[in-house]
Structure 1
Amino acid sequence: MSVGFLAVDSGGSGLRVVVGTAGDGGRGPLGRRVSGEPVRTGARGIDPGHLLAQLLPMAAALTAETGVARLDTVSVGAAGMATLGDALRAELPGALARELGTRRVALAADAVTAYVGALGPRSGAVVAAGTGLIATGTDLTRWRRADGWGHLLGDCGSGAWIGRAGLEAALRAHDGREGGSAPLLALAEERFGPASGLPGRVYPRSDRPAVLASFAPDVAACAAGDPVAAGVLRTAARHIADSAAAV
């Protein structure tokens, strides 16, 4: 019977899942699945039920596809784990044991899994930048983090931050205010519809960070010919460098 691992990355834009085998004779990752639906966050923090509802069908499909009969080890790197992970810590290990026969579960913040994946057991600094952004640094004695405060309070330089800054510039152009960008306004209306309805299409969404980040590629596409869009990307770069320097 083939015994393997399940590795999960849970971020602001959804889940990425890998099944594989490790150790002597192991072949590493054998199959991958992606979900574009971010795990919900509520009064209890990250919702373990919603994570499992997405993860278990993907795990079943991957074990059938790869021939891995039992997932002995599950590793989860989740955005917000440090501050919003109490329900995951309480419920996920038992649920994975019941559903998958898992014996070992490792739960960590996505910043930690990103660091280990990039540098392994070495000192340094890593910026995990996607929909959100967090920087982690260590001399292997002490650990330091910067940002990772979410799209309302931080994540400066992230995809959500770039998208939000681009949409702000678009709305400035719509209003005739200084700092607006007509090209970004045109792209925003192409993607989201009339500018006057943008708040109603963004604010109620539970996946708001992913919605904001979806506009980041439009900002990048504008940057070659639009000084406002180029300025958004320059400011994002400075924010990323600041976080790296801080750790």
Structure 2
Amino acid sequence: MTAATGAAPRGGTGPWVLGVDSGGSGLRVALADAGNGPDDGSGPSAGNGVGAVDSIGAGIPDGLGDGVGPVRSAASRVPVRTGPAGIDAAHLLDQLLPMVRVLLDRAGADAVSAVAIGAAGMATLGADLRAELPGALARSLGVRRLALAGDAVTAYAGALGQRPGAVVAAGTGMIALGTDLTGWRRADGWGHLLGDCGGGAWIGRAGLDAAMRAHDGRRGGSPALLARVEAVFGPAPELPALLYPRGDRPAVLASFAPEVARCATAESADPVAAGILREAARHIADAAVAVCPPSGECEVGLAGGLFKLGDPLLVPLQGELAARLPQARTVPAAGDPLDGAVLIATALATGDLRLPLDERLLHVPTEQGS
């Protein structure tokens, strides 16, 4: 049950649009008044915490905010299931529809003009979503304009809007996406077993490897990282039994990345930890080089929690990008993937979608009922 802490005004004139961000930490939804968004499509139309937000939880008594602005959001902490058919459309709808109905009621709105859903794994695991969601959302919400996007696309839109450039989205994993607005260029994002080089899981695993080398007395070990392993996880020989049975191994590996950064910036400045972050920066730069539009100046947006590691990663990354992409200008992300989903939905509603369509990365089905 959701508790109300203030009456939400029924401000805004519409059209109302819905942005959805589905990932490993759950499902986030934002209802926005597209009539109050920017008219040039150059940047995010709603912010995560930009403007006033009505915030509700799906089965979580987080409370309802005062809601004095055009953006209202809801969240579920339950990740959408993935099964044999890929991302489970029925499970996504079971969570999404009740939240949307509450948000519409709080906004005093009767309908949603356009919806954009960004989901981790959409490119390879989105077949069920592409097959089921257009009809289901048309029947349940009367939605006629729908975009289904990979989370890298919504991260791009949140970071740079509808401008050409490149975005590196790095958290537990790492993917780079670039466009000249005629097509997409993708690099990495292949998961922690096949890639995600330079991402949080990659850094964490490299740090754990250096710790275990120090435990064994092998070359390349780091006593500083070994000390952090034992402080965080317990005795080093017990680490395999702790790690291997876990279904969330990438997240566990990534949880050690901040420890690598701390060792790199400690008073003794562990050279092994610093070397891991320099190599991570090279991998991230490799991906940015692969996707940056080749002609003219290229903006490179850095999006995701990995960059909160700060200077131990950012300083070598800036050096790599300056040397290998001298035409590039690094910019902070203007918004997050939920902002990007709202921007795409707004562009659909206003007929101003300029990001290139792609069957797997940014799919816009034929309008339902037209």
Same-fold call, TM > 0.5? yes
Q: How far is the alpha carbon of 1:102 from its aligned partner?
A: 4.1
Q: Report the alpha carbon displacement of residue 107 of structure 1 after superposing the two structures with TM.
A: 0.8
Q: Which residue of 2 aligns with 1:152?
A: 193
Give the AA of the match of 2:35. G
Structure-2 residue corresponding to 1:73: 114
Q: Deviations over 1:164-221 (max 9, x none)?
A: 2222222222222222222222322333333333233333333322222222222212
TM-score (normalizing by structure 2)? 0.58
- Aligned match of 2:251 in 210, 213, 216? 210
Identity, % of aligned pairs?
68
Provide the rounded CA distance (Å) in 1 between the counterparts of 2:234 and 2:140. 43
Is contact 1:12-1:207 (8 Å) kept? Answer: no
> Is residue 34 of structure 2 the alignment partner of residue 22 of structure 1?
yes
Deviation at 1:246, TM superposition (A): 0.9
Aligned pair 1:226/2:238, yes or no? no
- How do 1:97-136 and structure 2 match up within 5 A? 97=138, 102-136=143-177
Within the candidate set 164, 170, 189, 2:211 is matched to 170
Aligned partners of 1:13 and 1:131 also within 8 Å: no
The answer to whether the 8 A contact 1:77-1:108 is kept is yes
Q: Structure 1 residues 40, 25: closer, same or farther in 2, change over 3 A?
A: closer
Conserved? CA contact 1:10–1:38, under 8 Å:
yes
**Cα displacement (A) at 1:22:** 1.2
- For this pair of structures, how many residues does the alignment match? 247
Alignment of 1:26-45 (within 5 A): 28=46, 30-33=71-74, 38-45=79-86
Gapped regions of structure 2 (runs ≥ 5): 1-9, 39-44, 48-70, 292-370
More relative contact order in 1 or in 2 (CA 8 Å, sep 6+)? 2
Q: How much has 1:109 moved relative to structure 2?
A: 1.0
Tell me by how many angstroms 1:145 deviates.
0.9
- Deviation at residue 151 of structure 1 after TM alignment: 1.1
SS in 2 for 1:154: coil
C-alpha separation between the residues in 1 aligned to 2:29 and 2:215? 41
How do 1:176-195 residues align onto structure 2 when only pairs under 5 Å count? Answer: 176-195=217-236
Tell me if 1:141 matches 2:182: yes
Cα distance, 1:36 vs. partner?
5.5
* Contact in 2 for aligned 1:12/1:131 (Cα 8 Å): no
> Which of the two has greater helix per residue?
1
**Distance in 1 (alpha carbons) for counterparts of 2:179 and 2:104:** 36
Q: Contact (CA 8 Å) 2:37, 2:46: kept in 1 or not?
A: no
Segment drifting more, 177-186 vs 23-32: 23-32
TM-score (norm 1): 0.82
- Which whole-Å CA distance do the structure 2 matches of 1:138 and 1:66 have between them? 35
Inter-partner Cα distance in structure 2 for 1:24 and 1:147: 36
Residue 140 of structure 1 and its aligned partner are, at CA, apart by: 2.2
Please tell me whether Structure 1 or Structure 2 has the larger radius of gyration of its CA atoms: 2
Larger strand share, 1 or 2: 1
Consecutive unaligned residues of structure 1, counting only runs of 5 or more, are none
**1:23, CA displacement in angstroms?**
2.2
